[in-house]
Copies of this chain bind each other. A is one copy, B any other.
Amino acid sequence: MAVVSNEKMSAKQIITCAAYAMGRRVADVELNDVHEVLKDQNQFVWIALHEPSEETLERVQQEFGLHDLAIEDAHSAHQRPKIELYGDSIFVVLRTAQVNQQHIDFGETHFFVGDNYIVTVRHKSSVSYANVRSMCEHSPHLLSKGQGFALYAVMDFIVDQYFPVVHELEMELEAIEDNIFKDKPSRETTQQIYQLKRDLLEVKRAVSPLVEVCNRLTRFEIKCISEETRPYFRDVYDHVVRINEMVENTRELLNTALEANFSLISISQNDVSKKFAGWAAIIAVPTMVAGFYGMNFRFMPEIEWEYGFYAVILLTVAACILLYYFFKRSGWL
């Protein structure tokens, strides 16, 4: 019965389990038979898992003799991107990201790479690596470089997926710029800035440890990564550095945008004050005049004059118009 449940389980969790020789897929293997295949030094096994159960991971551990801690890490998907050496094998953790309806979905992928095997463990991330695998299978002269190249192919795919993510964030920054410089200052813009900062930090946290990971894959002597695949990891390194730079750039611009936004709010405040002061001054004139002629003195010459009323109205209106032009010219209205 254990076998049956295993079969069922495999259907979901084990995406692929195949042996490759000379860069070509030579056989699909049962997980339980992997140790047989591993005896042939000219082959390597590529296993792709998706959110494996503890049981599956245990079987993988037994087949390849992996370290307890690596398996523990592979099960609980909340790791920082990192690379660890356990004897001759390495354990790599990457975080994946995709844009999904203006929202960034993060996932996680783990790699166990050894002498003649590579195991990829996908968590949460929705994009399958089936395409990467088939692309590799279409260029056997590259895949013949071994499991190191398979590792590169998937890493390159994961890293390249960050470019649209960062592009999306740059677009959001531009939208914020438009809001700041074209529209009025608003609570929404401030909140957008804050949200973008949050997203940038999240992406940075996922990408920046990759610099060190790629660096180690490029420089240090790791037995299971063949010498000739090194330039490929340097290429991934370049991409990672570029993504980091783009994120850093966007972050610095965002900080400036926040400050510019703040300056503009103050200028806007200034404008309100000036406008208010200007209109208050204009309205003060007729009010003062009206008060003046509302006094109850017995002897006020104009009051007796027949056209006094009209004369006063005319003068008042003239004064208001004069004030209006004066404020208009000095930019208060």
Q: A residues bordering B, Cβ < 8 Å?
A: 67, 69, 73, 79-80, 82, 84, 86, 177, 181, 184-187, 190-191, 193-194, 197-198, 201, 205, 231-232, 234-235, 238, 241-242, 245, 249, 252-253, 256-270, 272-277, 279-281, 283-284, 286-288, 290-300, 302-304, 306-309, 312, 331
Q: How far is the CA of A194 from the CA of B187 in the complex (A)?
A: 20
Closest to A204 in B: B249
Contact B272 A274 (CB under 8 A): yes
A310: min CB distance to chain B, Å: 9
What are the residues of chain B within 8 A of A79 when measuring CB–CB? 238
Nearest first, the 7 closest Cβ-Cβ pairs linking A and B are A290-B291, A293-B295, A276-B277, A297-B309, A294-B294, A265-B266, A190-B263
Contact A264 B190 (CB under 8 A): yes
Instruction: Give the copy number.
Output: 5
Q: Is the interface of A mostly helix, strand, loop or mixed?
A: helix
Q: Name A299's contact: one of B69, B259, B308 (CB within 8 Å).
A: B308
Subset of 30 A-B contacts with CB under 8 Å: A67-B231, A69-B231, A69-B234, A80-B245, A84-B231, A181-B187, A181-B194, A186-B267, A190-B260, A190-B264, A190-B267, A193-B256, A198-B253, A259-B262, A262-B262, A265-B270, A270-B272, A276-B280, A283-B284, A284-B287, A293-B296, A293-B297, A295-B312, A296-B296, A297-B303, A297-B312, A298-B304, A298-B308, A299-B306, A299-B308
What are the residues of chain B within 8 A of A303 when measuring CB–CB? 296-298
Contact A292 B290 (CB under 8 A): yes
Q: How far is the CA of A288 from the CA of B287 in the complex (A)?
A: 5
Q: How far is the CA of A181 from the CA of B190 in the complex (A)?
A: 9
What are the residues of chain B within 8 A of A269 when measuring CB–CB? 266, 269-270, 273
What are the residues of chain B within 8 A of A302 when measuring CB–CB? 297
What are the residues of chain B within 8 A of A268 when measuring CB–CB? 270
